[in-house]
Amino acid sequence: MQFIKPDVNIDFIGKRKIAFIVSSVMILISIASLIIHGGPRYGIDFAGGTLIQVKFFSSAAIDDIKSGLNTIGLNKSSVQTFGAAEDNEYLIRTDKSLMTDHEFSEEVSRALKFSTKNDLEIRRIEMVGPQVGKDLREKALFAMFFSLLFITIYISGRFELKWILSGVMAGALMGAVYFLSIFNVSIPFLIGAALVVTLILFWFLKLKYAMGAIVALIHDVSITVGIFSICGKEFTLPIIAALLTIIGYSLNDTIIVFDRIRENSRKNQKNPLHAIINCSINETLSRTILTSLTTMAVVVCLFALGGGIIHDFAFAMIIGILVGTYSSIYVASPILIAWQTHKKQK
């Protein structure tokens, strides 16, 4: 299906400097938001605590709910509406890891019924211990880091035929990260330092395609995390799943463009690289837009109709699809131009 005319010739590469400025500003805003908020806002999955979902049969005031919780020792609980206002459902979060047995459920029900003068139904109670939350946080970071390293092996092997070199490098980095984590080094700091070292190694080992792909993926994840921080949304296990899905989606789009660049480089060796890249992006533009639109249609339906449980997952996917499509065109491919410019200057 031809969504865009085959003879289209949009000058994407000519606007790469503007795109770099836009991307830099978005990443700086994301980092600033994380610093201001003291890092991501972790949900029960990562921070530990207890979550209670309650449905009232008629409207109830949040202040009345809090006063009822105070009578059973849950003084520092946060209460927020869940779903549509007419559903009269609320999420109660506390940083205490409580025994969530039948007796506790009855105690909460009696306290809220007395304070709100309203009948209610407790939909769910979830408890996560603080140590379990810390372990889940660390495993989530490791999952994203290791997925990026395995991607570098694939990209370097497919486009530059450097399977062994990239494999040895990735193995050494994974081993170093795992070894240092045993000595209680801060995992976020460790992962961040490892990513910086990875990019430096790509530069010196001349793995330009892998570097372009990883820079684009870091760009996508950073902006998505930043928007979640700006919006005050929680990071839970479904959000980590969304980030890993975004990595896969963005990589798929980047590989399509890289594949066309490689083909056109072989056919038109006399043409300058910026012309080859621009031509390749235009040739794959129809497929890129169609893939993004069809995927976006599904995710928007999940966002609008999927309910509160999947709402944040769908929101993360919407951001990821938009940013991932943008980065495949304006971040991953122009990295090859920057590489060639540095090579000529050297």
In this predicted model, what pLDDT tens digit does every residue of 58-92 receive, in sequence order?
Answer: 888 888 888 888 887 777 777 888 777 778 888 88
pLDDT at 258 over 70: yes
At 32 the pLDDT is 93
Beta-carbon contacts of residue 183 (< 8 Å; ≥ 6 apart): none
In this predicted model, what pLDDT tens digit does every residue of 174-184 receive, in sequence order?
Answer: 787 777 777 77
- Residue with the bigger pLDDT between 319 and 268: it is 319
pLDDT at 97 over 70: no
Q: Taking the domains of the chain in order of start, what are their residue ranges?
A: 13-43+132-345, 49-128
Q: How confident is the model at residue 321 (pLDDT cuts 50, 70, 90)?
A: very high
The answer to pTM > 0.85 is no
In this predicted model, what pLDDT tens digit does every residue of 198-248 receive, in sequence order?
Answer: 888 888 888 888 888 888 989 999 999 999 999 888 888 888 888 888 888
H-state helical runs in the chain: 16-36, 44-47, 62-70, 102-116, 130-160, 163-181, 187-205, 208-231, 237-267, 273-305, 308-327, 333-345
Q: How confident is the model at residue 299 (pLDDT cuts 50, 70, 90)?
A: very high
Flag the least confident range among 18-22, 135-139, 185-189, 197-201: 185-189
What is the C-alpha separation between 6 and 21, in angstroms, rounded? 30
What is the C-alpha separation between 307 and 281, in angstroms, rounded? 37
pLDDT at 265 over 70: yes
At 333 the pLDDT is 84
CA distances from 54 to 23, 61, 103, 311 (A): 41, 13, 16, 18
At 131 the pLDDT is 65
Instruction: Decide: 81 and 59 in contact? Cβ < 8 Å.
Output: no
Q: How confident is the model at residue 4 (pLDDT cuts 50, 70, 90)?
A: low
- Residue with the bigger pLDDT between 49 and 278: it is 278
Mean pLDDT value across residues 115-130:
80
The burial of 257, by beta-carbon neighbours within 10 Å (0-12 exposed, 13-18 middle, 19 or more buried), is given as buried
What is the C-alpha separation between 264 and 280, in angstroms, rounded? 7
At 130 the pLDDT is 63
Mean pLDDT value across residues 164-172:
82
Token digits for 35? 């610093």
Query: At the top level of CATH, which class does the domain 13-43+132-345 belong to?
Result: mainly alpha
| Residue 41 CB coordination number (10 Å) | 16
In this predicted model, what pLDDT tens digit does every residue of 128-148 receive, in sequence order?
Answer: 766 666 777 778 878 888 888
Q: Give the start-end residues of each E strand in 42-158.
A: 49-56, 78-81, 89-94, 120-128
What is the C-alpha separation between 143 and 254, in angstroms, rounded? 21
* Percent of the chain surpassing pLDDT 70: 92
Most confident option among 89-103, 161-175, 230-244: 230-244
What is the C-alpha separation between 34 and 218, in angstroms, rounded? 16
Nearest alpha carbon to residue 210 among 136, 144, 152, 297: 152
* Percent of the chain surpassing pLDDT 90: 12
At 281 the three-state DSSP class reads helix
Q: How confident is the model at residue 343 (pLDDT cuts 50, 70, 90)?
A: low
pLDDT at 1 over 80: no
Q: Which CATH code, of 3.30.70.100, 3.40.50.12160, 3.30.70.1290, 3.40.50.2300, is assigned to 49-128?
A: 3.30.70.100
Mean of the per-residue pLDDT values of the chain = 82
Instruction: Decide: 321 and 249 in contact? Cβ < 8 Å.
Output: yes
Q: How confident is the model at residue 323 (pLDDT cuts 50, 70, 90)?
A: very high
At 289 the pLDDT is 86
At 341 the pLDDT is 67
Instruction: Decide: 69 and 77 in contact? Cβ < 8 Å.
Output: yes
At 342 the pLDDT is 61
Mean pLDDT value across residues 27-47:
85
- Residue with the bigger pLDDT between 21 and 205: it is 21
